[in-house]
Chains A and B, each alone.
Chain A
């Protein structure tokens, strides 16, 4: 299941639509890191509202995305982590340290605008 990536102004928005395999996650990572340079995006939003599980592999991949994109000079914000997903992640020991998160897409856009 490929994740569509839309360009909106200076930002890229990737909206996850359904469960992702490890391979899908790696493809998303590579596509985002590639697209950031191609369109000279200043910010990236990954919307994970549709994910009912964010396990250790997904967390590591999302963290890698944010760190790689930061090295490219842009900001990443993960939006839409569901409450029960957040609960499971913390119990498992996952923190997404060093990665920006927002409640939803609207908050994520506001965050990137503030970062300007």
Chain B
């Protein structure tokens, strides 16, 4: 990866829909501190909102971890959404626009990938899901 962590990470426990708002506000504040322009702040906050809602909807409980990164002078924000929920049986399907098992719009994961610069997802069926996204300052 080659990028160093700047400062302390922020952890937000996600267990109800109010925590979704808390997580995205903390993420916005962290990115703002790093000097991201306002469009990027909205993009990062929206991505956090989608990832946190997935935790509430599918796993009930989990965590959003927020970090500032430095990659040879390039600054970025990393958001990790971790849960120990049921996992995603078919990742390819879950990454398709419009696919949802919960009656949602089915845009959460594919939309979050479009919003951010980097997107990684690891899901163990029956064990949980970890989504890591990053956005770099231009």
Question: Which residues from chain A sit less than 8 Å from chain B, CB to CB?
Answer: 19-23, 52-57, 59-60, 82-85, 87-89, 91-94
In the complex, how many residues of chain B place their beta carbon closer than 8 angstroms to a beta carbon of chain A?
27
Q: A55 with B39: in contact, given A21-B17, A88-B115, A93-B114 (CB under 8 Å)?
A: no
Residue among A54, A85, A93 making CB contact with B111, cutoff 8 Å: A93
In the complex, B42 has a CB within 8 A of chain A: yes
Shortest distance from the beta carbon of A112 to any chain B beta carbon, whole Å? 27
A88 engages B46 (CB within 8 Å): yes
Shortest distance from the beta carbon of B136 to any chain A beta carbon, whole Å? 16
Q: A52 with B112: in contact, given A87-B39, A92-B107 (CB under 8 Å)?
A: no
C-alpha gap A114/B57 in the complex (Å): 41
In the complex, B21 has a CB within 8 A of chain A: yes
C-alpha gap A82/B57 in the complex (Å): 27
Which secondary structure characterizes the binding site on chain B? helix
B43 engages A88 (CB within 8 Å): yes
B20 engages A52 (CB within 8 Å): no
C-alpha gap A56/B24 in the complex (Å): 14
B38 engages A56 (CB within 8 Å): no
B42 engages A56 (CB within 8 Å): no
Hey, which chain A residues are within 8 Å of B105, CB to CB? 56, 59-60, 93-94
What are 15 of the A-B contact pairs (CB < 8 Å)?
A: A19-B25, A21-B17, A21-B18, A21-B20, A52-B41, A52-B42, A53-B24, A54-B46, A55-B49, A84-B41, A88-B46, A92-B111, A92-B114, A93-B107, A94-B111
Shortest distance from the beta carbon of B99 to any chain A beta carbon, whole Å? 12
